[in-house]
Amino acid sequence: MDFVSTRGLSKKITAGEAILKGLAEDGGLYVPVKFPSLVHMNISQISSYPEMAFEVLAPYFENDKYITVNDLAEICMDAFNFNVPLIQLGDKESVLELYHGPTAAFKDFGARFLASTLEKIIEKTQKELTILVATSGDTGGAVASAFHDKAGINVKVLYPKDRVSERQKKQLTVLGGNIQAYEVDGSFDDCQKMVKDAFMDKELSQKWGLTSANSINLGRLLPQSVYYVYASHLFRSMYGVNPNIIIPSGNVGNSCAAYWAFTTGVPIESIVLAVNANKTIPNYLETGEYKPSASIHTLANAMDVGAPSNMERLFNLYGDIDVFRQFVTSYSVSDEDIKETIKKTYKETSYIICPHTACAKKVYETHYKNKPSIIVSTAHPAKFETIVEPLIGKTIPVPESINDILSKKGRFISVSTNYKDIF
Ligand SMILES: *Cc1c(COP(=O)(O)O)cnc(C)c1O
């Protein structure tokens, strides 16, 4: 299948090429020229999650320049090697736990698929790559874990000194091998600027084969649509109705993937974006004027985004404001409500949720109570123990994958905010 840029000025390329490129030359994001139809997919014959992933993704990789049918089957087996449970919480109320991957957040789906795909591509091009990624939290950990020990790929992770949690820092620094962590004496914005500066330095970028692994890469977006196909079919077989899907959203990569799944014709009633105090999308729905802004710090910090980068893809899908309003619903949740919801959910159901998931749960309670719904859970609460534990008055058991790294010693290089320090 062919992919084009949202800005329309780059030539058509296949998915494999778009994944290798990251951003299109005209600065836009890659989107499919048309969406496949999954209406007639025979779910009953699919026996595992990797097989489901293969069926959903195969149309996008038809006649691909790099990725063959066999490659895709192997990529899906390699990338999705963990559980994706749909938990029943109340009557027709369920939670899709997307945090059973190695770094305990949903970003493992995208990062692992991207890493496996790039590894296959390198086998063919024989050109080594350097992944450059700036992180304020979950992204760097997922990317580092996914690319660890992948042949022909080196990863440079940049994080701001004193601004990531101890557990997050461990995830970035204990792996070693082809993963090098850099502790930047500056802010997250400084880290992002260093990445940009390095990409702008054409000579250096060529020499190192620089590639980005951030959330606008098609290789992170496509695999995220699989769990919406999977969960909505499962929900429908359990309850006989289509679910509303409520998604904790920041850069809207996760929700954009849900819209792509929806467009292919899967049993979804509606898609709802739960955001924190960063209200760019609810404000747009209300006023019809799109005004990205600086981000506000909240308890759901992985969603602290004032200018969501994947909005460009949503506008490409639903350009007109009236069409946009027809498909997109979004509500903002305050820090007070996040805390209250974590407490209340634990008290009523003994179920522990992270601050991001709490945004979706609050939207459910306020606007979708007793309607068939899937609340999307994006991270394990133990990753945010300093917020969650005081609220529930209990220590959260740490998942094995995180426990394993806590005792290991991390290694990093301290650098200034000059990008030349990392080469
Ligand atoms: C990244 C992240 C989000 C936001 O996802 P987007 O795709 O950026 O909308 C939500 N929750 C958690 C835990 C995350 O790490």
Nearest to 225 by CA among 409, 101, 57, 82: 57
**Quick check: CB of 252 below 6 Å from ligand 1?**
yes
E runs forming strands in 234-287: 244-248, 270-275
- Residue 265 belongs to a domain: yes
Asked whether 363 and 333 are in contact (CB, 8 A), the reply is: yes
Q: Assess if residue 336 is contained within a domain.
A: yes
Instruction: Let me know if residue 182 belongs to a domain.
Output: no
What are the tens digits of pLDDT across the range 301-310? 999 999 999 9
Q: Mean pLDDT throughout 244-248?
A: 98
Residue 289 in any domain: the answer is yes
Is the CB of residue 254 below 6 angstroms from any atom belonging to ligand 1?
A: yes
Choice from 29, 100, 106 to test ligand 1 binding pocket (greatest atom count within 8 A of CB)? 106
Ligand 1 site, residue 249, Cβ cutoff 6 A: yes
Instruction: Kindly report the three-state secondary structure assignment for every residue of 351-373.
Output: CCCCHHHHHHHHHHHHHHCCCCE
- Token pair 């929900």 is at which residue? 235
Cβ(324)–Cβ(360) below 8 Å: no
| Token pair of 227 as six digits | 């769990």
CATH number at residue 286: 3.40.50.1100
Is residue 368 over pLDDT 90?
Answer: yes
With a 6 Å cutoff on the Cβ, whether 303 touches ligand 1 is yes
| Token reading at 389 | 């534990």
Under 8 Å CB-to-CB from 289, ≥6 apart: which residues?
A: 283
Judge contact between 377 and 354, C-beta under 8 A.
yes
- Is residue 126 one of the residues assigned to a domain? no
Domain count, the chain: 1
Radius of gyration of the chain (CA): 20
Look at the alpha carbons of 177, 136, 376, 44 in this order and tell me if their dihedral is positive or negative: negative
Task: State the DSSP string of 292-320.
Answer: -------SSGGG--SS-TTHHHHHHHS-S
Strand partners, 180: 156
> Tokens at residue 239, please?
């309850």
Q: Which domain holds residue 352?
A: 83-105+219-396
* Spatial strand order in the sheet of 30-32: 13-14, 2-5, 30-32
pLDDT band at 44 (very low <50, low <70, confident <90, very high): confident
Pocket test for ligand 1, best of 363, 375, 378, 402 (most atoms within 8 A of CB): 378
Could you tell me the distance, in angstroms and rounded to a whole number, from the CA of residue 64 to the centre of ligand 1?
A: 29
Which residue among 98, 99, 249 is best mutated to probe the pocket of ligand 1, counting the most ligand atoms within 8 A of its Cβ? Answer: 249
Q: What is the pLDDT of residues 139-183, one digit of tens each?
A: 999 999 999 999 999 999 999 998 888 888 999 999 999 999 999
Q: Note whether residue 74 is domain-resident.
A: no
CA–centroid distance, 11 to ligand 1, in Å, is 30
**Can you tell me the mean pLDDT for 55-79?**
98
Domain assignment present for residue 27? The answer is no
Name the pLDDT band for 215 (thresholds 50, 70, 90).
confident
Gap from CA of 213 to ligand 1 centroid (Å): 15
Tell me if 256 is assigned to some domain: yes
